[in-house]
Amino acid sequence: MRRLLIAGNWKMNMKLDSAKALAQGLKEKAAGVSEVDIAICPPSLYVQPVGAIVNGSNVGLGAQNAYFAKAGAFTGELEMAMLTDVGCQYVILGHSERRHILGESSEFINLKVRAALKAGLIPIVCVGELEAERDNGVTNDVNRRQFDGSFSGVSAEEMKKCVIAYEPVWAIGTGKVATPDQAEEVHAFLRGLIVEKYGKEVADVVRIQYGGSVKAGNAKELLSKPDIDGALVGGASLKVDDFMGIIEAVRAL
């Protein structure tokens, strides 16, 4: 059975003191949690000080983005090896905000996915449709295209190390949430894509998270679905009690 992964994406929020306090609070409150994997992804400037706080605990550390090239003249970018150097285990790639606000293509994201794997990081690769795309009945087409592009050239053994985060873009930060059945339908479709490309053995291993206004009140119903293996949490990851509420809601699953 796949272990649930609850990851907090802090996005561009908080000042340093608040970030450190949040990390300390989560470290203390999550100390007894063994049933699920936990990770937090602070803004890049705070990865190192936050990582120093959670180091040695059961709270994993991730980054929100990185570049695919090795060290060089890439002003403002971060190399994957820089993330591992400060203790990161995870990196979020292809988040909808980077796809749709910053214009990152699946082909560009694919370069990052392959670089992350080479660096020993676990890539959390985001896919998901816009509201207009869902309304037009092309949800599966969009997610297939993003899956194929983002994982091009990734081997079966590498795929086992990846995490997919399904994020219906219309449910991110809007308060709207895909119903458990809507989410499960897309998760099952994505797992079917893994079966097509890599076989059932790989598909049975890969974790597919749901991301989109996940809260303590809806987490258990969503994550009880067979193909939903955790959550990529935005706003509810910014307060200790809110984030721990999600973790506590699903510990028994």
pLDDT in tens, 198-232: 999 999 999 999 998 899 999 999 999 999 999 99
Whose CA is closest to 58, among 40, 31, 83, 35?
Answer: 31
Band (94; pLDDT cuts 50, 70, 90): very high
pLDDT at residue 172 tops 80:
no
Q: Which residues are catalytic?
A: 95, 167
Would you say 166 and 128 are in contact if contact means Cβ atoms under 8 Å apart?
A: yes
100 vs 31: CA distance, rounded Å: 37
What global pTM score does this model have?
0.97
Longest dimension (CA), the chain: 48
Q: 14-35 pLDDT, tens per residue? A: 999 999 999 999 999 999 999 9
Exposure b/e, 91-121, CB count within 10 A at least 16 = b: bbbbbbbbbeeeebebebbbbbbbbbbebeb
**102 falls in which pLDDT band (50, 70, 90)?**
very high
Query: Minimal CA–CA distance to 92: which of 176, 172, 2, 179?
Result: 172
Tens-digit pLDDT profile for residues 180-193: 999 999 999 999 99
